[in-house]
Chain A
Amino acid sequence: MKTKDSGRRRFLKNSAAFAGLALGAARTAQGADTPADTSAARPKDLHSYGERSRYETSARLGAMGLYDPAPPGYHRDFGYRNPIQDSVGYITPAPLHFVIAHGYEPPDIDPAEHHLLIHGLVDKPLIFSLDDLKRFPSVTRAHFLECNANGAPAGPTGQYRVAPTATAQDTHGFTSCSLWTGVPLSIILKRVGVKPEAKWIIGEGSEKGKHTKSIPIEKAMDDVLIAYGQNGEALRPQQGYPIRLLVPGWEGINNVKWLRKIKLVDEPYMGMWESTKYPSLRPDGLSRWFQFQMGPRTVITRPSGGQKLNGPGFYEISGLAWSGGGLVRSIEVSTDNGQTWREAEIQSPVYPKAHVRFGFGWDWNGNETILQSRCTDEVGERQPSVVELAKFWKVEPDFFIKTGTIPGHFNAIQPWKVNSDGSVQNAISF
């Protein structure tokens, strides 16, 4: 605590000296400033904590670009999407990572006051402070996080995903990838001692709605993290500061933010979201629940919807691939509306359950065409077309746009149409 205080005094002293300079620069920057942090009380010194160039304006957007009226401190929106069309490499900057919290604002948590309780079917229930958690061995791993409804063609935001004007942010903005740092949950579970009858864990958050999620013990013992770091610094408030569950490859809803409690239990607890909002109701009237893993998926981010090619010639087609099944084994690109597919080049490290950047050199002859990508993962799953997906669901393809439900896990191949004037538009069809 002593070093922290002296650090703060030094920061304030330096800040005062730079205040005139720094404030002027900071106020002109545009983009995805996060609401209501402590920056108002703290002059910005860009030498102390940097910002991007004022010419960089890529920003998250609400799913409809607007927010329903709500009392101060609450937003009722369908999430904030990552501007994936502007992305480079395979890591999403934390301030652009997509946000879904079912309308709840991040709680303002002082990490010195925050604790994690682990109890239930354990030998010794324990409470851990953040300092306690940092006494355990840490790991750092790249993992994507993706919302179950990423790219859903129906539901409240479906029309924005299927519109010809849709950008990759509209179609695929509910996935992001970070380097997460934290403690493997298996280590902490070893510390508390798991009783043999414990089959599930229930994670619980600290936000106003206290989100809960049931996760099988096998997954908890496998690769789940209690994450406190993201891309080399503390988690952002929107991402669960100071700690969150990180459940690699599984639906975003599992990754409980602002984690305050884990209970070990004998059965799933059927929380409201997991038992009534996330099951997949099909036309036979039966709901498939606890579908867990996100399937293999790719999206070409460049050229993608809303962008424009500057005449015929060479372009590097660039995109992202990922799968909840593990490693991405191969990525293919088609530049002729799916008649031929060729292997793309992998241009970033390949980690299990993480985004992978791919590239594909392309000479555009100036004719209208359709660009597509697909991948296959280490468990042998290949990203489906809309028709293949419909067949597996035992529905007609237009079910995906006509249904009054939200068709989750919609990982169909994304086609982008390049018009002869170089403009690019969403060409998904059903």
Chain B
Amino acid sequence: MRFRFRFLVPVVAVAACFTAKAQTPDYKNVGRTPTAQEIQAMDIAVSTDGKELPPGSGNAKTGARLFQEKCAACHGESQEGSAQAPALVGGKGTLTSLHPKMTVGSYWPYATTIFDYIRRAMPRYQEGSLKPDEVYSLVAFILYRNEIIKEDDVIDAATLPKIKMPNRDGFIPQNMDEIHDWKVRGCKLGHCP
């Protein structure tokens, strides 16, 4: 290997001098401008401030009916989970135990993630079939059953991002500006202290 590098480095360096001079491309006319509709159709990822959340709303009462119809077969009548799908409720106070129960209520840091994931990936085998009102209602029902909101609370684009999930402070580093440099975080590769 040492021999190869000694030989290659000058060759590559010389070649680079010539090719670099050839042109500085701006890749003109590669790709086309999307229409607003094309962007909107694909713009389903929801940020933690909820700016992409669609119009619509729901509460736990409508969500309960919908849950029985669309979700209970896998997640269980009481959101207790099954072999097919995880529990969505419970687990409070278990995160320091050897067998933590990591549910939406006990573990998930952001409520916006619930909306994002249900809309894109649920129900399994009918992904993407739920309308915004239905997704808001299901989110409300799951939050209600986890005692995070009241049964009549309206969940919509304004209220959802404001909900602070119980385990929101359970993730480190808290400050996303610190996340980029693993050495500053005191991590070994792949392991943070």
A187 contacts across to B, CB distance below 8 A: 27
In the complex, the answer to whether A405 meets B42 with C-beta atoms within 8 Å is no
In the complex, the answer to whether A281 meets B179 with C-beta atoms within 8 Å is no
Q: Tell me how far the C-beta of B3 lies from the nearest C-beta in chain A, rounded to whole angstroms.
A: 13
In the complex, the answer to whether B172 meets A271 with C-beta atoms within 8 Å is no
A202 contacts across to B, CB distance below 8 A: 45
B26 contacts across to A, CB distance below 8 A: 190-191
Q: Which residue of B lies closest to A405 (CB)?
A: B100
Checking B33, B100, B125, B180 against A74 with a beta-carbon cut-off of 8 angstroms, the contacting residue is B125
In the complex, the answer to whether A288 meets B100 with C-beta atoms within 8 Å is no
In the complex, the answer to whether A126 meets B34 with C-beta atoms within 8 Å is yes
Checking A192, A279, A411 against B190 with a beta-carbon cut-off of 8 angstroms, the contacting residue is A411
Asked whether A117 and B45 contact (CB < 8 A) given A286-B170, A323-B189, A324-B190, the answer is: no
Q: Which residue of A lies closest to B5 (CB)?
A: A350
Q: Tell me how far the C-beta of A317 lies from the nearest C-beta in chain B, rounded to whole angstroms.
A: 20
A324 contacts across to B, CB distance below 8 A: 189-190
Q: How many residues of B contact A (CB 8 A)?
A: 54
Residue interface bits A184-215, CB-to-B below 8 A is 1, else 0: 00010011100000000010100011101000
Q: Which residue of B lies closest to A76 (CB)?
A: B84
Checking A76, A132, A276, A285 against B30 with a beta-carbon cut-off of 8 angstroms, the contacting residue is A132
A404 contacts across to B, CB distance below 8 A: 98-100
Asked whether A267 and B190 contact (CB < 8 A) given A125-B33, A276-B113, the answer is: no
Checking A208, A270, A325 against B109 with a beta-carbon cut-off of 8 angstroms, the contacting residue is A270
A49, B189: Cα distance in complex, Å:
41
In the complex, the answer to whether B127 meets A381 with C-beta atoms within 8 Å is no
B47 contacts across to A, CB distance below 8 A: 265, 267, 269
Residue A284, interface by CB 8 Å: yes
Residue B31, interface by CB 8 Å: yes
Q: Which residue of B lies closest to A212 (CB)?
A: B45
In the complex, the answer to whether A260 meets B192 with C-beta atoms within 8 Å is no
In the complex, the answer to whether B191 meets A275 with C-beta atoms within 8 Å is no
Q: Which residue of B lies closest to A208 (CB)?
A: B127
Asked whether A210 and B120 contact (CB < 8 A) given A270-B110, A291-B190, the answer is: yes
Checking A117, A192, A275 against B108 with a beta-carbon cut-off of 8 angstroms, the contacting residue is A275
Q: Tell me how far the C-beta of A197 lies from the nearest C-beta in chain B, rounded to whole angstroms.
A: 13
A127 contacts across to B, CB distance below 8 A: 31-34, 38
User: Which one of A10-18, A164-172, A388-396 is at the B interface?
Assistant: A388-396
B30 contacts across to A, CB distance below 8 A: 128, 132, 135-136, 191
Residue B73, interface by CB 8 Å: no
Residue A261, interface by CB 8 Å: yes
In the complex, the answer to whether A124 meets B190 with C-beta atoms within 8 Å is no
A215, B112: Cα distance in complex, Å:
18
Asked whether A393 and B191 contact (CB < 8 A) given A119-B34, A132-B31, A293-B182, the answer is: yes
In the complex, the answer to whether A295 meets B193 with C-beta atoms within 8 Å is no
A272, B112: Cα distance in complex, Å:
10
Q: Tell me how far the C-beta of B97 lies from the nearest C-beta in chain A, rounded to whole angstroms.
A: 8
A128, B170: Cα distance in complex, Å:
40
A356-375 residues at the B interface, CB under 8 angstroms: none
A293, B193: Cα distance in complex, Å:
14
Residue interface bits B86-97, CB-to-A below 8 A is 1, else 0: 000000000110
B107 contacts across to A, CB distance below 8 A: 276, 281
A283, B113: Cα distance in complex, Å:
25
Q: Which residue of B lies closest to A199 (CB)?
A: B176
Residue A62, interface by CB 8 Å: no
Checking A128, A210, A281, A296 against B31 with a beta-carbon cut-off of 8 angstroms, the contacting residue is A128
A382-430 residues at the B interface, CB under 8 angstroms: 384, 389, 392-394, 399, 402-405, 408-409, 411
B95-129 residues at the A interface, CB under 8 angstroms: 95-96, 98-100, 102, 107-110, 112-113, 116-117, 120-121, 124-125, 127-128
Q: Which residue of A lies closest to B172 (CB)?
A: A286
Asked whether A218 and B180 contact (CB < 8 A) given A210-B127, A324-B190, the answer is: yes
Residue interface bits A280-300, CB-to-B below 8 A is 1, else 0: 110111111111111110000
| New A-B contacts (19) at CB < 8 Å, excluding given A204-B42, A265-B47, A267-B47 | A117-B34, A125-B39, A126-B33, A128-B31, A135-B27, A202-B45, A216-B179, A267-B49, A269-B46, A275-B109, A280-B191, A287-B171, A289-B172, A293-B189, A377-B189, A389-B191, A392-B191, A392-B193, A409-B191
Give chain B's interface residues, CB within 8 Å of chain A: 1, 26-27, 30-34, 38-39, 42-49, 83-84, 95-96, 98-100, 102, 107-110, 112-113, 116-117, 120-121, 124-125, 127-128, 170-172, 176, 179-180, 182, 187-193
A-B pairs with beta carbons under 8 Å apart, 23 shown: A125-B33, A125-B34, A126-B31, A132-B31, A135-B30, A191-B26, A192-B31, A208-B121, A209-B120, A212-B120, A216-B179, A263-B43, A265-B47, A268-B176, A275-B109, A291-B191, A292-B190, A295-B190, A346-B1, A399-B98, A404-B98, A405-B102, A409-B191
